[in-house]
């Protein structure tokens, strides 16, 4: 189960999503049988792969797939119980699905590949009676999974996430998040001029139990992507933005339009800014396999601002977000430097 951005893959049509949901359990059985056949051969690689990293990763992938299939089956069951989705416990039932799946996945990931989360300091998740907007850095494997777990299981809030429409290829995640009214941002090839319209509509419907999660960078940070951003700004002749990008090596540019739209349509929402580090340098399947078992934990810090302390004017939001992103970069830089000197 993965919650991240896949910008190059267009969303499947509705009919194909229904087909994927129907064949997913059968696909899971086939993949599991293949894993059973392949696993003994992977064990034979022990002299070359002493950490059994490939076997661990494949096992975890199969496990996560079955958790995802479980979401599909349980969503079907909830639909049978309430065909129109009008059950008074509709949101709570789907929140329970997300909580259980995330708890199971993170429990298993810690034991199989060493993935674990540590929260720095005291974490406040907004005031009672106020919705929460979560603005997070996006870097490393499974960071969005960890933040969704934080909101659902730790904070008990309903996660309503802004994510790429490529995630509609994932039957379990797509079903449960669509029912919780998350927003799948259309790919650029199919998007209109204003890609924030759906963000605004989602923000306008937030209730006091909701947490809306957005990644203003729009994609996962990697060192190569940051270098590409610096190169592009230099070629475009953007000296101010270039200087900022060079001074902030641990973040990509934060796009303020989506955040400003949220603030304008949900001004009563408290705002949490999340910084995290620990698995930043791991990008791509090969890097993940080389890093297993993970020696670093995912260290996460959240700082929450009361709604009245965050501007709603678009220009002021851009300035406020720039300041926060500078703080996020500084926090990451401090902790990366600390690791390098251990």
Question: What HEC string does the chain produce?
Answer: CCCCCCCCCCCCCHHHHHHHHHHHHHHHHHHHHHHHHHHHHHHCCCCCCCCCHHHHHHHHHHHHHHHHHHHHHHHHHHHHHCCCCCCCCHHHHHHHHHHHHHHHHHHHHHHHHCCCEEECCCCCCCCCCCCEEEEECCECCCHHHHHHHHHHHHCCCEEEEEEEHHHHHCHHHHHHHHHCCCEEECCHHHCCCCCCHHHHHHHHCCCCCEEEEECCCCCCECHHHHHHHHHHHHHHCCHHHHHHHHHCCCCCCCCHHHHHHHHHHCCCCEEEEEEEECCCCCCCHHHHHHHCCCCCCEEEEEEEECHHHCCCCHHHHHHHHHHHHHHHHHHHHHHHHHHHCC
Domains of the chain: 14-340 (3.40.1130)
Of the candidates 167, 135, 154, the one whose C-alpha atom is nearest the C-alpha of residue 272 is 135
Instruction: Name the token pair of 230.
Output: 């610096």
Output the CA–CA distances (angstroms, integers) from residue 144 to 99, 162, 277, in the order listed: 14, 11, 12
Q: What is the pLDDT of residue 341?
A: 44
pLDDT digit string, tens, across residues 167-183: 899 999 899 999 988 88
Supply the pLDDT for residue 191: 44
pLDDT 10s digits, 50-102: 899 999 999 999 999 999 999 999 999 999 999 988 899 998 999 999 999 99
pLDDT in tens, 249-276: 999 999 999 999 999 999 999 999 999 9
Query: Crossing angle of helices 256-265/197-204, nearest 10°?
Result: 30
pTM for this predicted structure: 0.88
pLDDT at res. 4: 43
Rounded mean pLDDT, 310-318? 96
Reported as a pLDDT band with limits 50, 70 and 90, residue 223 is: very high
């Amino acid at each position: 189960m993965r919650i991240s951005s896949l910008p190059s893959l267009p969303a499947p049509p509705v009919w194909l999503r229904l087909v994927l949901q129907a064949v997913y359990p059968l696909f899971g059985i086939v993949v599991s049988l293949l894993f059973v056949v392949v696993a003994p051969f992977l064990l034979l690689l022990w002299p070359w792969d002493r950490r059994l990293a490939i076997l661990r990763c494949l096992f975890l992938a199969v496990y996560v797939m079955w958790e995802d299939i479980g979401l599909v089956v349980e969503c079907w069951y909830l639909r049978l119980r309430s065909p129109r989705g009008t059950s008074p416990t509709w949101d709570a039932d789907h929140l329970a699905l997300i909580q259980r799946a995330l708890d199971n996945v993170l429990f298993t990931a810690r034991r199989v590949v060493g993935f674990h989360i540590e929260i720095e300091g005291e974490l406040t998740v907004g005031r009672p009676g106020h919705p929460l907007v979560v603005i997070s850095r996006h870097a490393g494997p499974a960071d969005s999974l960890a933040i969704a777990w934080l909101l659902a299981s730790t904070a008990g809030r309903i996660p309503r996430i802004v994510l790429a429409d490529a995630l509609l290829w994932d039957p379990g995640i797509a079903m449960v998040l669509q029912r919780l009214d998350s927003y799948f941002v259309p790919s650029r090839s199919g998007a209109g001029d204003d890609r924030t319209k759906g963000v605004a509509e989602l923000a306008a419907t937030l209730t006091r139990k909701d947490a809306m999660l957005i990644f203003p960078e729009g994609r996962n940070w990697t060192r190569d992507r940051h270098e590409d951003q610096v190169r592009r700004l230099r070629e475009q002749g953007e000296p101010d933005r270039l200087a900022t990008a060079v001074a902030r090596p641990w973040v990509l540019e934060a796009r303020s339009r989506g955040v400003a739209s949220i603030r304008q349509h949900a001004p009563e929402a408290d705002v949490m800014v999340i910084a995290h580090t620990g698995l930043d340098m791991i990008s791509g399947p090969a890097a993940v396999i080389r890093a297993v078992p993970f020696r670093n934990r995912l260290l996460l810090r959240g700082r929450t601002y009361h709604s009245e302390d965050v501007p709603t004017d678009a220009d002021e939001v851009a300035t406020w977000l720039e300041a926060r992103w500078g703080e996020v970069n500084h926090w990451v830089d401090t902790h990366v430097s600390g690791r390098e000197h251990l």
